[in-house]
Amino acid sequence: MDIELDISWKKLLQDEISQSYFLSIIDLLNTERAAGKIIFPQSKWVFHAFNKTPFDKLRVVILGQDPYHNPGQAHGLSFSVPVGTKPPRSLINIFKEIQSDIGVEMPLEYGNLTHWAEQGVLLLNAILTVRLNEPASHAKIGWMDFTDAVIKKISDNKKGIIFLLWGNFAQQKQTLIDEDKHFLLKAAHPSPFSANRGFFGCKHFSKTNELLIQQGYSPIDWKLFTPTQQQIKFSNEG
């Protein structure tokens, strides 16, 4: 598996990706794929979050846990699904909160969050790969050592980053973040099992934009357009 990283991340993480534990992760993935194991996301998308949100453009981090383990869902961005795949229930709950929070109507049949990533929202899963129909199957192969290092390097080398930590798993990562330099917004996970216990009503999307504006940055455009809407939008703008 080739490691394709945006140059700004590669420079920051060069010491990490040359360590033996990281090379062992890549060897294991190559071995499992060669043995016929189906692993998500595809190799080209394992580092998709880093390539869609270069380090020098990073402003917000939304931390997920594990990639989706069903076919056609995972594409390297936490909570996001590719074009043509219906949003899972957690993502639908995220959209419901956006609609309630900032009054933006979301296309509930479409869940590709690339538009957010391109604006500086790092959609990072703590575990970057998973086997088909085996949730958390790669939780102990070393990915969390890598993504913990990523979070720590963001904390050490940036200032004013807004971390959205949803659920207990994500909130455990706050020990890696310097709260004197950054902003932590915490809520329940948007899963159907917990969204009613503090995710709905958290207003993280408006709060994120308020914090960005306070720092002199443009707010995130949280609205998503379906592929058809994008074609109409770009045609009208042209």
Q: Which residues are catalytic?
A: 66
C-alpha atoms less than 13 angstroms from C-alpha of 6 in its C-beta half-sphere: 17
* Residues sharing a CB contact under 8 Å with residue 92, sequence separation 6 or more, in sequence order: 108
Q: Smallest Cα–Cα separation from 126: which of 84, 168, 96? A: 168
Residue in the structure block whose two tokens are 């050592």? 145
How far is the C-alpha of 14 from the C-alpha of 156, rounded, in Å? 16
- Using CB atoms within 10 A of its CB, is residue 48 exposed (0-12), middle (13-18) or buried (19+)? buried
Q: How far apart are CA 187 and CA 201, in angstroms?
A: 9
Contact 167, 63 (CB under 8 A): no
